[in-house]
């Protein structure tokens, strides 16, 4: 039994950071109540797999304590090209109840996993172009991946009530904070330490999703290798902080070279989107995740793909009390976009 909608917290467990956000909802508006970010030691989570659950549990406990969160009900998310499959398909028109009974049979035709090994969900998007057909989004997540994350959350003394997918958490964040324009194609691109999530929306409806196992670790490793520096100092350089003996000009050269791999992966995803759908244009990219903190990345991405890029503003339509440091919030906003989207979720949402 839930304590109440206002008590659900969004918990985003990434390979580099754990982010937590608690919002208070009242009469359709949201107020920020709690926010916290913890940095994980390297190699605790690799490619979305938790390798040291006890230390991840300890990190979650410490973060919840430090942010003084009392609520226990949690929305969390998973991602990963090898664990999460999202397919948009056209099916004969039927009611949600009828599809609920048939979803396992329908999903078997589209999901490359044993159907017994996955947790399934779906959303009816609306009528398809073909008569008497409807568009449906089918989501399949490997049960062992869900169990992995649910277990660490439970072991941290919390109660997971919703398991979402990163791409859809970003969509929730977008819907709350941005005006949805009919016919406009918006690409939500989230680049974490080891994962890229892409969710392309047409008129606010998801038409394409893709996860790739690349991320900001590429930049960190390139800086460490070039300048023979520690992981910590490489992270400082990524965020334009000074490190003794390293010139900003040299950092720019190394980062721009490393950007190319990430940008090429995003560009390939966009090409695949154009090749497999009837939607030609992407009108805007909204960028989130740790790589968005690298000031030169957004301009480089925009130049390569020919699309305007803006940094996500997850608190745009959320009331932020004066007790929060606005400068700090502005800095970390790209990092907590998924957590904000998770904090908006409610049991029963589709």
9-62 pLDDT tens trace: 999 999 899 999 999 988 889 999 999 999 998 889 887 889 999 999 999 999
Closest CA to 265 of 308, 305, 212: 212
Tell me: do 118 and 259 sit in the same domain.
no
Q: Helix, strand or coil for residue 210?
A: strand
Q: How far is CA 225 from CA 173, 234, 252, in A?
A: 36, 9, 15
Q: How far is CA 69 from CA 7, 189, 259, 340, in A?
A: 9, 29, 37, 15
Q: How far is CA 193 from CA 18, 163, 288, 299, in A?
A: 12, 21, 12, 19
Q: Which helix (H) or strand (E) holds 89?
A: strand 84-92
**DSSP conformation letters of 7-66:** G-EEEEE-SSEEEEEEEEEETTEEEEEEEEEEEPPTTSEETTEES-HHHHHHHHHHHHHH
| Low-confidence residues of the chain: pLDDT under 70 | 1-7, 81, 347-350
Provide the number of structural domains found in the chain.
2
Does this model's pTM top 0.85? My answer is: yes
Surface-to-core class of residue 238, CB atoms within 10 Å of its CB (0-12 exposed, 13-18 middle, 19+ buried): buried
CA gap 116, 126 in Å, rounded: 28
Tell me: do 199 and 322 sit in the same domain.
yes
> Would you state the pLDDT for residue 94?
92
Q: Is residue 339 part of a domain?
A: yes
Range of the domain at 103: 84-137
Tell me: do 118 and 262 sit in the same domain.
no
Tell me: do 335 and 259 sit in the same domain.
yes
Domain-ending residue, one of 121, 137, 153: 137
Q: What are the backbone angles phi and psi of residue 299, rounded to the nearest 5°?
A: -60, -40
Q: What share of the chain is helix, strand, coil (3-state, %, to 5)?
A: 40, 30, 30
> Would you state the pLDDT for residue 81?
67
CA gap 41, 43 in Å, rounded: 7
Residue 113 belongs to domain with CATH number: 3.30.1490.300
Residue 302 belongs to domain with CATH number: 3.30.420.40
């Amino acid at each position: 039994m839930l304590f109440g909608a206002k008590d659900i917290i969004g918990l985003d467990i990434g390979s580099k950071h754990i982010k937590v956000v608690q919002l208070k909802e009242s009469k359709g508006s949201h107020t920020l109540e709690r926010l916290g970010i913890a940095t994980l030691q390297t190699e605790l989570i690799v490619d979305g797999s938790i390798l040291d659950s006890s230390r991840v549990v300890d990190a979650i406990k410490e973060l919840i304590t430090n942010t003084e969160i009392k609520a226990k009900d949690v929305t969390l998310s998973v991602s990963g090209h090898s664990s999460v499959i999202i397919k948009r398909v056209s099916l004969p028109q039927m009611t949600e109840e009828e599809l609920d009974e048939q979803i396992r049979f329908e999903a078997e035709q589209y999901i490359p996993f044993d159907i017994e090994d996955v947790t399934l969900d779906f959303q009816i998007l609306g009528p398809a172009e073909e008569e008497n057909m409807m568009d449906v989004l089918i989501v399949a997540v490997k049960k062992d991946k869900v169990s992995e994350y649910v277990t660490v959350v439970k072991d941290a003394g919390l109660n997971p009530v919703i398991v979402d997918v990163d791409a859809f958490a970003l969509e929730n964040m977008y819907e709350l904070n941005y005006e949805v324009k009919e016919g406009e194609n918006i690409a939500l691109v989230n680049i974490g330490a080891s994962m890229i999530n892409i969710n392309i929306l047409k008129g606010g409806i998801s038409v394409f999703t893709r996860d790739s196992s690349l991320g900001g670790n590429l930049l960190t490793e390139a800086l460490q290798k070039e300048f023979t520096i520690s992981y910590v100092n490489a992270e400082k350089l990524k965020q334009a902080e000074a490190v003794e003996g390293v010139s900003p000009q040299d950092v720019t050269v190394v980062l721009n070279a490393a950007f190319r791999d990430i940008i090429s992966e995003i560009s390939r995803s966009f090409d695949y989107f154009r090749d497999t759908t009837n939607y030609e244009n992407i009108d805007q990219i909204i960028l989130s995740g740790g790589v968005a903190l690298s000031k030169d990345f957004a301009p480089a991405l925009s130049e390569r793909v020919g699309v305007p890029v803006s940094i996500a503003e997850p608190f745009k339509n959320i009331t932020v009390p004066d007790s929060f440091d606005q400068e700090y919030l502005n800095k970390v906003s790209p990092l907590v976009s998924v957590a904000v989207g998770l904090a908006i979720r409610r049991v029963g949402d589709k």
